[in-house]
Amino acid sequence: MLTHVMETIKQLTEINSPSGNTEEAINYVKHLAENLGYRTELTNKGALIITVDGLNNSEQRCITAHVDTLGAMVKEIKENGRLALDLIGGFHFNAIEGEYCEIQTQTGQTYTGTICLHETSVHVYKDNHKIPRNSEHMEVRIDEITSSEQETRDLGIEVGDFISFDPRTIITSSGFIKSRHLDDKASVGIIIELLKKLKEENTKLPHTTQFYISNNEEIGYGANATISDSIVEFIALDMGALGEGQSSDEYTVSICAKDSSGPYHKALKNHLVNLCKINDIPYKIDIYPYYSSDASAALKAGVDIRHGLFGAGIESSHAMERTHIDSITATQNLLYAYCLSPINK
């Protein structure tokens, strides 16, 4: 089931963009937006703002999604030539054990490797299942002939080089897309498809809307600056967290009532719910207990906005993620309905 949005998401996941190394992904979205005729600007932090003019320019909206992902950096070049890692983003080593990766050097060279437990071989390390998966025991096995620190340095690899994880993106015939980094490239893909739709239909939005493609969300300070005083509503388009005790699933749009930062704006949340009811969009309301967003980061930065959050339900967040076309479609439909609705007061 290769729909346009699924293919767009797949293309985005295949662009390496761990927090701190997002230029290629940002430029990819920038060029798409400019080719559609939209105004764009880059912030000093390297985020992208795409402006869609509306009938009302005095009361504006901001809709943000983030293109940065989890990743790692080279922490140390070990005596055996392998690499110790320092993680970027909120996850644990068990989520990447055995994963293929790429190391991008400061000079632009790229090497492949595998993230391994140092004591991987069961034929050598009898009780290796008991060994903690942490920075002391996990390392990158580089796909080059190297067995010493100097041989690895001779490749051009140094401390501080970025490490990206193979997304392994697959779209199934049953309508699923499974991949790393659907958080939050699914949302970025949905925004790209919305921009195409607005242009194709020559639709005029009721309010000027800034689409803020953030590049530091996974480390806590994405879309929290360069926010116009004219913006009164701020939506984080981000994943719905799935698991035991959660209401959200892979087939509906998830509307967040509260996360670890506190409740989202009640009236705006109710407006989103009403849009779902009016437009027959399948939805779930949920609370994400260990989660925060660029909307909550903007509030903490002191921006005076009404904030909300919704998105596709993503299974196994910060690991091998998955969602279904039904959830993506429901999210697309809510985003479209929201953009075309008047600001809720």
Q: List 313's β-bridge partners, or say none.
A: 240
Q: How far apart are CA 53 and CA 40, in angstroms?
A: 12
Q: Specify whether the CB–CB gap between 256 and 309 falls below 8 A.
A: yes
**37: its two tokens:** 């005729």
Is there a catalytic annotation at residue 79? no
Name the residue among 147, 149, 116, 153 with its Cα closest to residue 133: 116
| Catalytic position from the list 139, 193, 217, 250 | 217
Task: Quickly count: other Cβ atoms within 10 Å of residue 97's Cβ.
Answer: 15
**60: its two tokens:** 């504006």
SS3 of the chain: CCCHHHHHHHHHHCCCCECCCCHHHHHHHHHHHHHCCCEEEECCCCCEEEEECEEEEEEEEEEEEECCECEEEEEEECCCCCEEEEEECCCCHHHCCCCEEEEECCCCCEEEEEEEECCCCCCCCCCHHHCCCCCCCEEEEECCCCCCHHHHHHCCCCCCCEEEECCCCEECCCCEEEECCHHHHHHHHHHHHHHHHHHHHCCCEEEEEEEEEECCHHHCCCCCCCCCCCEEEEEEECCEECCCCCCCCCCCEEEEEEECCEECCHHHHHHHHHHHHHCCCCEEEEECCCCCCHHHHHHHCCCCCEEEEEEEEEECCCCCEEEEHHHHHHHHHHHHHHHHCCCCC
Q: Would you name the residues annotated as active-site residues?
A: 217
